[in-house]
Amino acid sequence: MFNLIYTTVFFASYGNFYGLSNITIGSFDIMLDYIVAIVCAIVFALILRLPLLPSKPYRYSFDVSAIYPTPIIAIGILSLFLVLNYTFMYNGLVLAVVIGVLSALFVKYLFDFVFPKPLDENTGEDINE
């Protein structure tokens, strides 16, 4: 299992699409970028007054929160940039902060438009409203 994690973390540092291995970053920088993106996404989502957890029951809730899906979106977008070997400045730290802030803004203002809530079968209205 640790070998899988090792190769997954180092995937972005092997080289970019064109094989230019001289412009790569290490695994410590990659993990630090992920942590910074997660923390920035959660903190900025809380500043935007998103709830920390969705409404109860958690299993059937389609509410957005600071814990889910905000950092998941930040990790996904940051992964795309790292796989393309675009890290911007300071080994990707500035990019991680920008992506964390933008993902919190996306979840707060655009998430319901892009991913609408499912309709309730009984009433024909949105669930959790």
Residue at 13 is within a domain: no
Residue at 44 is within a domain: yes
Domain with 51, as residue range(s), is 24-114
**Strand, helix or coil for residue 19:** coil
Residue at 11 is within a domain: no
Residue at 124 is within a domain: no
CB-based contacts of 14, cutoff 8 Å, min separation 6: 21, 24
Q: What is the mean pLDDT of each run of 10 residues along the chain (129 residues)?
A: 58 51 71 94 96 80 87 92 82 93 95 83 61
Residue at 108 is within a domain: yes
Residue at 77 is within a domain: yes
- The Cα 99–Cα 76 span in angstroms is 10
How many domains does the chain divide into? 1
Residue at 15 is within a domain: no
pTM of the model: 0.76
Residue at 126 is within a domain: no
What is the structure's pLDDT at 22? 45
